[in-house]
Structures are given as structure tokens and as C-alpha cells.
Amino acid sequence: MAGCVVALVLVSAGCSGDDKTPGGRDGSGAPQADKSTVAVTAPAAEATDVAASTDVTYTSEDPANTSVELKAADGEAVQGTIDKDVKVFRPLQALTWGMKYTVTVTGTASGDKSGTATSSFTVMKKPAKQVRVMSFLGDDQTVGVGMPLIVRFGRDIPEDYRADVERRMTVTATPAQEGTWHWTSPTEVHYRPKEFWEPRTEISYRVPLAGVPLDDGWYGRSDLTVNVTIGRSFVMTVDNKTKQMTVKQDGEVVKTIPVSLGQKKYPSSSGTMVVIEKKRKTVFDTLDEFPEGEGYRVNIDYAQRLTWSGQFIHAAPWSDGEQGRRNVSHGCVNVSMAMGKWLFEQTLMGDPITVSGTEDKLDNGNGWTDWNMSWDDYRKGSALS
């Protein structure tokens, strides 16, 4: 990777004499300009209102031996990367609003003659309309193997702009794993690997949208970088036929837990979900949701949300006698107080649970249902698919 600086702009090369013709003249005696070996092709020379997210493109007869430098008017060099295959310099961060920049491209011509092109341009003033970029996860969190990376935007990203946004977003995982972005709505995009994250994976994801045009005069407000860690593998599976939950940690069965699922009128959903949030104590109030006489308001211990519609894993001491035998809940996964406490102390946000054999199928979007889709279907949600 070549070192660093460059800007967009059209450039012209200087002149010199021709070594083969005395005085630098051709047969007619007219002055002859030296061939330009490099040139800045974008942004145009002395361009104004250039996007802060701009790249610099250039031409070169010898890309492998061409360097690019981009400097701000205050003399500070811009750090970036050079793609020599396509002859593009990409700043690592958005350029400063309203700042003037100078690009210098230096290459080598045939016969070891060097060529230099210099050009200047000015970045647009800070726009009034800017779109916020947010990550659901914060730096240094540890999450489960089923945790999707979630990026949210302050307003809808038009469909025609999503491919450009997605192309800029990067995910670096150690160890490396195949994965893709998937748009769940115009304001939210998720990322998951093909299989569950490998335990203890280190992940860094970056969304560099500062200054990126997002339609109708809107621009990205800032760049975003987040680093997270995947914890141990902790996977729960629930079989309605046996009324048992099997818990595996790092591939080994560590617990088998009797459960009671949703009764036929209020069945639990079959599908793969993940733990969305955890509440040591909470109150379930369904008095306005269910028909008169069927709603309830009850204190709950060790609640772990699985769906937006209100399905949880939680302690339910009132159904101890039914757990492992009969379904009596309103869609939740009921366990004993002791098992509810144990699970609550073991799980991380993003730990997956798969329920099978119930009368109802999980609706995609009812929770973080990224793993409820096949890999092929999930990839179709990418703007670059």
C-alpha cells in the first residue's frame, strides 16, 4: 500500500527540450513539449464545491512507480490509500469543509524521465442538511455469536444511494469470515457472516459517510468506527415436541432445561432469534392487548427479550409443574426460577435461540431475525447483490 496524499484535479505537465532534436525542436523547427507521464483527472483543476468525501483520480504510464500527495492549504498532508490498479487516491477521512487542497502526482516516464502534475481544488462549505450515522453497538462490547452489526441512519437512505453507502462500509474480522450487509429498512442496515460468528472473533467495522452525498442536498454527517468482540459460543435450541431447551457452550451440551411454550391460542414462534435485551426485573402488562379477562399484569424475573412482539425467555414459577410437559404461556419460553437465573447469568446480547415444532412461524423483522433467513435470501438484501 502506497503512502498517502492526493486530491482530485486536472493537471498539466511542464515542458522540456527533446533529447534527440537540438534546441527541443522537431523537423520544422517548432518548439516541442515533453510528453506528460502523469495527470490529475478529478477533481477538475480549480474546482469549487467539491464533495468532502471525494477521491482523487489520475493517469500514469507507470502506476507502480507513481506517488500521490494531497495537502491542505495549511500544509497538513492528507493520509490515504492508493489503488494503483484503478489509479485512485482515497483519503482515509473526509476532507475539511471549505478547505483548499493541492494534489501532486509524481511518476516515471520511459527512459527514466520523471513527470509531475499539480492541481488544486476547494471543498464545498459545510452543508445545512446532514444525516446522522449511528451504531447500535458501542466500542469494546462483548456480544454473542448471533449478534448482527447494526447501523442506523437519521433519515431514509434513498434506494439509488444505498449501493454507494454500502460500498463504503467495511467489516474486518479476525479470524476472517464471509459476510454481507442486508438492508432491513431505509434507515437501518445489518451485517452477519454466513455462519454464526466464530467464538472470540475481534471485529472492527467502519462507516465513512462524512461528506457523502445522500440526495436532495443531504450529506453524511460523520464517519463511524466501532470495535467489538464476540464471546464464547452459547447456543440455545428448544424443541416443542420434547418441551426441552438444550444449551451448548463452545459446542458441548452444558444444560438441558424443561420449558413451557405458548398455548395453542398464543403459540410461540418457531425460528431462530437472538437475545435482544435483558431485564433482571420487569412488569408484563397485557391488559390492553388481550381480550377482556385474558390480559394480565405480573412481575417478571430474569426476562430476556427475543421478539418485538413480546416473546421472552423468563422465569415463571407459576408454571413449574407444566414445564417439560405442557404449553401454558402466552408465547414466551417459561423456565423455572433457578433456570431463569442461571440462563440470565450466562447469556450475552446476541446469543441465538432456535425454537422448533410450534404452530406459528417467526416473521422476519420481528426481532433481530437475521439468522431466520437462508444465506442466499439474506444476500438478496444487499444493495450490491
Pair (243, 365) in one structural domain:
yes
239 and 343 part of one domain: yes
Give the domain range for residue 41. Answer: 36-123
| Closest listed residue to residue 312, CA positions, set 353, 342, 346 | 353
Within a domain: residue 379? no
Which pLDDT does position 110 carry in this prediction?
A: 55
Domain boundary among 97, 123, 149: 123
CATH number at residue 145: 2.60.40.3710
- CATH number, residue 292: 2.40.440.10
Low-confidence ranges of the chain (pLDDT < 70): 1-36, 109-114
Domain boundary among 192, 211, 231: 231
Q: Are residue 206 and residue 239 in the same domain, yes or no?
A: no
252 and 324 inside one domain: yes
Residue 190 lies in a domain: yes
Question: Are 323 and 292 members of one domain?
Answer: yes
Phi and psi, residue 22, nearest 5°? -55, 140
Q: Could you tell me which residues come within 8 angstroms of residue 316 by beta carbon, excluding any fewer than 6 positions away?
A: 260, 323, 329, 332, 334, 335, 336, 340
On whether both 208 and 250 belong to a single domain, the answer is: no
Strands 352-356 and 234-239: parallel
Q: Is residue 31 part of a domain?
A: no
Query: Which of 120, 10, 6, 20 lies closest to 55 in space, CA to CA?
Result: 6
> Both 140 and 241 in a single domain?
no
On whether residue 14 sits in a domain, the answer given is: no
For 138-155, what is each residue's pLDDT tens digit? 999 999 999 999 999 999
Residue 118 lies in a domain: yes
Residues 297 and 359 both lie in one domain? yes
* Biggest alpha carbon–alpha carbon distance for the chain: 107
**CATH assignment of the domain containing 45:** 2.60.40.3780
227 and 238 belong to one structural domain: no
Same domain (yes/no): 242, 363: yes
| Residue 17 covered by a domain | no
Question: Residue 280: which H helix or E strand, with range?
Answer: strand 277-285
Same domain, yes or no, for 166 and 72?
A: no
* Same domain membership, residue 273 and residue 344: yes
Last-in-domain residue among 92, 123, 154: 123
The torsion of the CA quartet 104, 110, 112, 118, rounded to 10 degrees, works out to: -10
Number of structural domains (the chain) is 3
pLDDT digits (tens, 9 = 90+) for 31-40: 333 455 899 9
